[in-house]
């Protein structure tokens, strides 16, 4: 597809989801045959279902409800393989919710999948942002989850690093919906498996803020391609500026651009900086939780 | 960090998440701890206590979304006003 934010609109291959999924599955299956941890299979099936949903959306424009609704299906293997504890870690302690945790999983995977999908607006934004926000999740898994979950996260982190090399500005590949849903489903699964749900939410705050602003301004679940008023305007010098239209949806990028026009690369760097900031807040929360656990 | 900085918005959201965690610990968690006692005294099932927990959790989340929505309106108003003055 055309990269519309660059001069001459060069063609860029899409979707990168299949190659991302293959690299993750290869790493995870090797780990499974070495360790025999069955949680790996649950997480891999969840990610594969998310990929199938994404690839359908890549080749056929589906209605806005399709991805969130279909991603509920992707959550089921996490429940079937019991890739969760019966308690929610809420920093200041744990809450035992054996029945409530199941609907939480059914909500979490669609939410994280769509949140990551919604931030994939520029070259390298989704993969770079996720690499930054994976670091607190890795640390939290090591401290509060268990070592095996930390090991399962490593092939995903390595695949993301490899993918970023080609996705970063100027992109040589676009992940497409299949790629972003694979990233989101995997991230959500790890947050659940490592009992780091709140740490993950904090790390993803810029992306959550983007989804919140978008939904509260559009007031319905809608496919972004169906929005008539765009939140940003591409200028002749290929910089972007915030739309002045009242009906245009409010997004994170539109807020970034309220300070003045920026190039695509500058916007992506701002998103990374926000990701770094929210990751720092995650680290503060991890330290807080660590001290609370030690006091107890 | 200025009020209109996007990091301030994220910091506010983080504070809300922390408030939600504290609310869950002080309101929802005690129900889990006393679940056995409650079940014996009032003869209610684990499903019923889970429903009570779910309702409380939903109330907490809705209250926080409401606060965030109010904050968003103030933030956007000040941001757009600042831009017009600029």
Question: Is there a contact between A58 and A22 (Cβ–Cβ < 8 Å)?
Answer: no
Q: Look at A93 and B25 and tell me if their CB atoms are within 8 Å.
A: yes
Domain count within chain A = 1
Q: Looking at the domain assignment, is residue A32 inside a domain? A: yes
Q: Looking at the domain assignment, is residue A190 inside a domain? A: yes
* Residue A176 CA, distance from chain mean position: 13
What residues of B are in contact with residue A278 (Cβ under 8 Å)? 10, 14
| A115 pLDDT above the threshold of 90 | yes
A279/A9: higher pLDDT: A279
Nearest beta carbon to residue B10 from set A95, A250, A277: A277
A8-22, A263-277, B65-79 — which one is most confidently predicted on average?
A263-277
**CA–CA distance, A102 with A84 (Å, rounded to integer):** 9
- Percent of all residues in chain B with a pLDDT value above 90, rounded to a whole number: 33
Nearest beta carbon to residue A255 from set B6, B33, B50: B6
Q: Which residues pair with A263 in a beta bridge?
A: A239
Burial class (CB in 10 A: 0-12, 13-18, 19+), B39: middle
- Whole domain around residue A74: which residue ranges? 17-204
| A110 sits in which H/E element | helix A101-119
pLDDT tens-place string over residues B64-77: 999 999 998 888 88
Q: What is the pLDDT of residue A11?
A: 87
Question: Is there a contact between A194 and A149 (Cβ–Cβ < 8 Å)?
Answer: yes
ipTM of the shown complex? 0.91
Residue A122's nearest CA partner among A1, A265, A240, A10 is: A265
Q: Looking at the domain assignment, is residue A50 inside a domain? A: yes
Q: What is the pLDDT of residue A189?
A: 95
Chain A contact for B81, CB < 8 A? no
What residues of A are in contact with residue B69 (Cβ under 8 Å)? 216
> Rounded to a whole number, what is the distance in Å from the CA of A294 to chain B's nearest CA?
17
The b-or-e profile of A208-245 (16+ CB within 10 A means b, else e) is bbbbbbbbebbeeeeeeeebeeebbeeeeeebbebbee
Select from A281, A287, A288, A293 the residue whose CB has the most chain B CBs within 10 Å, as the one to mutate to test that interface: A281
DSSP-derived secondary structure for A51-88:
HHHHHHHHHS---TTHHHHHHHHHHHHHHHTT-S-SEE
What residues of A are in contact with residue B33 (Cβ under 8 Å)? 96
pLDDT tens-place string over residues B38-52: 666 665 677 777 888
A214/A281: higher pLDDT: A281
Q: For residue B5, what are its two tokens?
A: 């900085």
**CA–CA distance, A164 with A230 (Å, rounded to integer):** 27
Which pairs from B24-29 meet CB under 8 Å and 24+ separation?
B24/A88, B24/A90, B24/A95, B24/B57, B24/B60, B25/A90, B25/A92, B25/A93, B25/A95, B27/B56, B27/B60, B28/A95, B28/A97, B28/B53, B28/B56, B28/B57, B28/B60, B29/A90, B29/A93, B29/A94, B29/A95, B29/A96
Chain A contact for B53, CB < 8 A? yes
Q: What is the pLDDT of residue B38?
A: 60
Read off φ and ψ for residue A14, nearest 5 degrees: -155, 140
Chain A contact for B15, CB < 8 A? no
Query: Which letter does DSSP use for residue A251 in this model?
Result: -
Q: Look at A95 and B47 and tell me if their CB atoms are within 8 Å.
A: no
Q: What is the pLDDT of residue B1?
A: 64
Nearest beta carbon to residue A198 from set B17, B32, B33: B17
Regarding pTM above 0.90, the answer is yes
Q: Domain limits of chain B?
A: 15-85
């Amino acid at each position: 597809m055309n990269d519309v934010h660059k001069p001459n609109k060069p063609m860029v291959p899409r979707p990168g989801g299949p190659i991302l999924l293959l690299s993750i599955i290869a790493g995870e299956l090797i780990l499974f045959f070495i360790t025999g941890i069955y949680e790996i299979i649950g997480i891999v099936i969840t990610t594969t279902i998310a990929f199938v949903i994404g690839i359908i959306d890549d080749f056929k424009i589906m209605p806005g409800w399709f991805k969130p609704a279909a991603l509920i299906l992707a959550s089921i293997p996490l429940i079937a393989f019991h890739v969760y504890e019966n308690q929610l870690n809420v920093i200041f302690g744990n809450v035992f919710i054996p029945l409530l945790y199941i609907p939480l999983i059914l909500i979490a995977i669609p939410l994280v999948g769509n949140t990551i999908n919604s931030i994939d607006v520029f070259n390298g934004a989704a993969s770079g942002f996720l690499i930054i926000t994976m670091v607190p999740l890795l640390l939290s898994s090591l401290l509060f989850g268990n070592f095996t979950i930390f090991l399962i996260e490593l092939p995903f982190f390595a695949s993301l690093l490899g993918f970023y090399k080609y996705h970063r500005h100027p992109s040589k590949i676009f992940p497409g919906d299949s790629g972003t849903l694979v990233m989101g489903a995997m991230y959500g699964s790890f947050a659940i498996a490592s009992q780091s749900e709140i740490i993950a939410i904090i790390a993803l705050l810029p992306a959550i803020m983007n989804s919140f602003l978008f939904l509260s301004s559009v007031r319905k679940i809608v496919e972004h391609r169906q929005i008539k008023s765009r939140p940003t305007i591409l200028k002749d010098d290929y910089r972007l500026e915030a739309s002045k239209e009242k009906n245009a949806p409010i997004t994170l990028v539109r807020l970034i651009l309220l300070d003045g026009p920026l190039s695509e690369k500058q916007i992506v760097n701002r998103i990374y900086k926000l990701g770094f900031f929210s990751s720092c807040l995650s680290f503060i929360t991890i330290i807080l939780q660590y001290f609370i656990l030690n006091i107890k | 960090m200025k009020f209109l900085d996007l990091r301030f918005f994220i910091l506010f959201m983080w504070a809300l998440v922390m408030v939600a965690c504290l609310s869950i610990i002080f309101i929802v968690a005690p129900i889990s701890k006393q679940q056995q006692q409650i079940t014996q005294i009032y003869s209610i099932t684990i499903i019923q206590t889970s429903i009570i927990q779910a309702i409380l959790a939903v109330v907490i989340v809705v209250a926080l979304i409401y606060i965030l929505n109010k904050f968003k309106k103030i933030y956007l108003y000040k941001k757009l006003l600042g831009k017009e003055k600029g």
